[in-house]
Amino acid sequence: MNSKTPPDQTCSQDGFDLIDYPCDFAFKALCRVDKSAAESASEVMRQLVLAHVPESSLIETHVNQSRTGKFESVTLTVHLTAREELEAIYRSVSASPLVVMTL
């Protein structure tokens, strides 16, 4: 497992969900800042998340920049209705070349 891959047991252990759905879940990612890119890291993250849930599910977006400006910490709080949404979002976000690490 690398730092971009969420553990296999993100939501379940021994076949039981540890999260009750529906729920509000905060996706956190450390992203590289690409100043030459047309879209910010937070906008890319938003698009990746909204590929799996309706826009009405997005509750809040919060961005912190690193002191040097090379990285952004992006947190998107989303209303999830099923474990499959959580797993699909983590797969998409982890696959992005901008994402260094997910929490």
All residues at 6 or more sequence positions from 52 whose CB lies less than 8 Å from its CB, including other chains: 85, 88, 89, 92
**Which tens digit of pLDDT belongs to each residue from 9-48?**
344 444 557 899 999 999 999 999 988 887 888 999 999 9
Question: Does residue 5 belong to any structural domain of this protein?
Answer: no
Question: Does residue 12 belong to any structural domain of this protein?
Answer: no
Quick one: CA torsion of 58, 96, 92, 65, rounded to 10 degrees?
A: -30
**Which tens digit of pLDDT belongs to each residue from 53-71?**
999 999 999 999 999 999 9
The CATH number covering residue 96 comes to: 3.30.70.260
Question: Does residue 70 belong to any structural domain of this protein?
Answer: yes
Domain count along the chain? 1
Question: Does residue 87 belong to any structural domain of this protein?
Answer: yes
Could you tell me the residue range of the domain that residue 83 belongs to? Answer: 18-102
Question: Does residue 10 belong to any structural domain of this protein?
Answer: no
Residue by residue, DSSP assigns 62-82 as EEEE-TTSSEEEEEEEEEESS
Question: Does residue 1 belong to any structural domain of this protein?
Answer: no
Pairing of strands 99-102, 23-32: antiparallel
Question: Does residue 74 belong to any structural domain of this protein?
Answer: yes
pTM: 0.79
Which tokens hold the place of 10? 């993100």
